[in-house]
Structure 1
Amino acid sequence: MEWNQDSTDVTILLRVPRGTKAKELSVALDSQRIAVRLGWYGSLFEGAPLHAVRGADSRWCLEDDVVRLTLAKAREGQWWKAAVRGGEERTYHQLLHDAVHADERVKPFEELDEDAKELMESILERQEYVAAGMLDPEGFDDFRVVIGESSLKG
């Protein structure tokens, strides 16, 4: 199983035998359970989403030999450490990578909520300190300082 995410969805990729037809698959996606069965084989995957999902907005498709499960996050903007409960967790570095490289529309500054505006202003101020030599990014442990503005825009 592989998985990735953006701010609105978690996508789980499951390999199936080449030649598998969609009609041979049985897929259940809801807020409490994910289950994928292959008719002639049995259970391919079963688990509970780490966080709440909107089951009605979740979907699946078969692309060649991969079943793509797209889980619609109930709480958009929440970055998941794992796709399913008990699954392998991502590090904070991996989560930051997910957030920075998510292929999403970037909100203009004017559309951000007040907390996000304050965070952006703080980041920009610290970047100015680094550029002026007033702050050493190597000795500072706040990741927001070393993220460039272009990185935040994807």
Structure 2
Amino acid sequence: MSEQPVDPLSSVERAAKEAQEKLEKQKEEEEQSQLPYVWKQTLQDVDITIPVPKGTRGRDLEVVLKKNQFKVGLKGKTPIVEGELCQTIKVDDSTWTLEDQKEVLVHLEKLNQMQWWENVVKGAPKINTQKIQPENSQLGDLDGETRAMVEKMMFDQRQKAMGKPDSDALKKEEMFAKFKKQHPEMDFSNAKFTNE
């Protein structure tokens, strides 16, 4: 069996794409490191760590968590972070604590738990949500309905990447095949199958 010759253009294009992605990732990391806080997220929530001067007490802080507003700072000083949240949160399930008198830990519970956030507050540097690698171990933490939906989305994404039909198209094809079997007297030679 002979090997197919490697198309030099595709390897050049691939290298260029990888270099471009590396530059974008470096730029994103640089922008994120300039923020006065560090943040991470799951589909359900966002956790933010905000350094404050050592010895800070809870009464020295001004923390505002509203449906679309976010503010953390020392009373009487310019806020460390303030702005409109990029997405809506569940205020009753969101919390903040002062850890070791040197950092404020903020936990925001997302209202839409099927969407990745590009940033915490509008106007802050964005991250590329297409590059997020969700932790697979968390799939088991989801309730049955949500897990089934996420697994379906992941299957459809893989099928699309391979140029194959998604689960809905496969289901339609299966139903059409059953219908044809049940009605052999009908002529399906001119039948058109659309995915809408």
- Higher share in strand: 1
| Among 59, 67, 86, the residue aligned to 1:50 | 86
2:65 paired residue number = 29
Q: Work out whether residues 66 and 91 of structure 2, in 8 Å CA contact, stay in contact via their aligned partners in 1.
A: yes
| Among 140, 156, 162, the residue aligned to 1:106 | 140
Q: Work out whether residues 35 and 45 of structure 1, in 8 Å CA contact, stay in contact via their aligned partners in 2.
A: yes
Give ranges in structure 2 of 5+ residues lacking alignment: 1-36, 163-196
Amino acid at match of 2:105: R
- Higher share in helix: 2
Amino acid at match of 1:39: K
2:183 paired residue number = none
Per-residue deviation, 1:37 = 2.5
Report whether the alignment pairs 1:2 with 2:38. yes
SS at match of 2:124: coil
Write the distance in 2 (CA, Å) between the matches of 1:16 and 1:75.
Answer: 30
Give ranges in structure 1 of 5+ residues lacking alignment: 127-140, 144-154
1:129 paired residue number = none
Instruction: Report % sequence identity.
Output: 26
1:71 paired residue number = 108
Q: Alpha-carbon deviations, 1:3-61, whole Å to 9, x = none?
A: 11011111121110011111211211011211113125342221111011111211101
Q: 1:77 to 1:18 in 2, by over 3 A?
A: same
Which has more radius of gyration? Answer: 2
Equivalenced residue count is: 124
Q: Work out whether residues 12 and 69 of structure 1, in 8 Å CA contact, stay in contact via their aligned partners in 2.
A: yes
Q: 1:7 to 1:17 in 2, by over 3 A?
A: same
2:17 paired residue number = none
Amino acid at match of 1:81: E
Q: 1:55 to 1:104 in 2, by over 3 A?
A: same
Write the distance in 2 (CA, Å) between the matches of 1:39 and 1:120.
Answer: 50
Q: Work out whether residues 68 and 84 of structure 2, in 8 Å CA contact, stay in contact via their aligned partners in 1.
A: yes
Q: Work out whether residues 30 and 56 of structure 1, in 8 Å CA contact, stay in contact via their aligned partners in 2.
A: no
Q: 1:79 to 1:41 in 2, by over 3 A?
A: same
Output the TM-score relative to the length of structure 2. 0.53
Write the distance in 1 (CA, Å) between the matches of 2:41 and 2:153.
Answer: 25
SS at match of 2:85: coil
Output the TM-score relative to the length of structure 1. 0.66
Point out 4+ residue stretches in structure 1 off by more than 4 angstroms.
none
